[in-house]
């Protein structure tokens, strides 16, 4: 199977494997299940689709950069220090003395559950002021891959203009990875279907959930998604617990996901993108790119927050190389990424 492999200006002095641009926020995670009105206390964490991806990639051994804007406040300090502690280059993050760092609170349940609540405090945030004039475009483009998401497009007109600039054809453009990441609460003008379609069609590699494509564009199934993106070099349709399907210009491949004992259903999509990008950068076979995506997602699903330490490269490679029967028996639970702590991962199907 032929699939696009990341290439780019690798002779640039500050080139990295992946640059991700977007808003990161301080996240407040509930100390117990229940409505936001009833939760008495919260634990502080960090959240942001794009920074989640590069934190996971850095933990997996890739040189990466996060580009964004935060306030000149304590929450901004916390974000920059925490993301940097993963090994991510944060030297191109800009501080805004006039706008705050975004924060949000969420309940403990599954994001897809009707009882799940998220309270965003990001309107007028420092990140919403990102534009072609306030972001260093050379630093953004100095990677083999540039990773973007549809979340940024919803933050402001300037942010949308920036994404249009970065997804436009050009001689200095790296491979553009785009995760649709539709967040209905952020789209107040009803323009999300056409805007996300435009941006996704401008990317080289697109990640989209099958359910997400149904909600945004009314597309039914992976084949219908491919029909909507006939010219996309690599299209990855995530299908939840069923697995994922990848389309390139000539082939289609579906790889089932392993069974996972879920602790919290957050961060899996970002982790999947990180796993797939890591394996792509390493030139691994297409099946293994999907399997590495599933394994990274499983790491995120088996911890309470958005970010998880991925398995070691050797451990992940060993699991990704399993034959189809052994892969089908795989069941992953809390602690599976730490070989010294885990039980046998291969659990027979009941």
Q: Which residues are catalytic?
A: 270
CB atoms within 10 A of CB 91: 12
List C-alpha distances in Å: 3 to 8, 250, 279, 307.
Answer: 16, 9, 12, 28
Identify the CA nearest to 327 among candidates 310, 341, 345, 311. Answer: 345
Three-class DSSP category at 122? coil
Residue 29, token pair as written in the block: 């995670």
Distance CA(194)–CA(217), nearest Å, equals 9
Q: How many residues does the chain have?
A: 350
Distance CA(255)–CA(319), nearest Å, equals 14
List C-alpha distances in Å: 341 to 220, 307, 316.
Answer: 41, 19, 16
């Amino acid at each position: 199977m032929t699939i696009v492999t990341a290439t780019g200006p690798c002779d640039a002095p500050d080139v990295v494997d992946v640059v991700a641009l977007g808003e990161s926020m301080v996240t407040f995670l509930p100390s117990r299940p229940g409505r936001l009105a009833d939760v008495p206390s919260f634990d502080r964490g960090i959240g942001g689709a794009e920074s989640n991806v590069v934190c996971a990639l850095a933990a997996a051994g890739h040189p990466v950069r996060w580009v964004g804007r935060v306030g000149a406040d304590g929450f901004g300090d916390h974000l920059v220090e925490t993301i940097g502690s993963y090994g991510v280059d944060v030297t191109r993050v800009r501080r805004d003395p006039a706008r705050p760092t975004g924060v949000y609170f969420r309940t403990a349940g599954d994001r897809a559950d009707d009882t799940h609540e998220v309270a965003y405090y990001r309107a007028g945030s420092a990140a919403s002021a990102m534009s072609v004039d306030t972001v260093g475009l050379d630093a953004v483009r100095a990677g083999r891959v540039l990773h973007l998401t549809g979340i940024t497009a919803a933050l402001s007109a300037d942010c949308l203009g920036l994404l249009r600039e970065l997804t436009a054809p050009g001689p200095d453009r790296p491979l553009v990875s785009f995760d649709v990441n539709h967040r209905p609460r952020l789209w107040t003008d009803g323009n999300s279907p056409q805007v996300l379609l435009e941006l996704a069609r401008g990317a080289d590699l697109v990640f989209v959930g099958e359910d997400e494509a149904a909600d945004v564009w009314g597309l039914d199934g992976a084949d219908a998604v491919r029909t909507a993106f006939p010219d996309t070099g690599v299209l990855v349709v995530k299908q939840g617990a069923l697995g994922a399907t990848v389309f390139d210009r000539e082939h289609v491949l579906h790889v089932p996901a392993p069974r996972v004992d879920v602790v919290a259903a957050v961060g899996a999509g970002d982790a999947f993108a990180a796993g797939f990008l890591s394996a792509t950068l390493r030139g691994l076979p297409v099946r293994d790119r999907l399997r590495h995506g599933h394994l990274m997602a499983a790491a995120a699903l088996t911890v309470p927050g958005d970010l998880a330490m991925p398995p070691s490269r050797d451990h992940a490679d060993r699991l990704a190389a399993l034959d189809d029967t052994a892969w089908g028996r795989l069941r992953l639970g809390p602690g599976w990424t730490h070989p010294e702590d885990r039980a046998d991962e291969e659990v027979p199907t009941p």
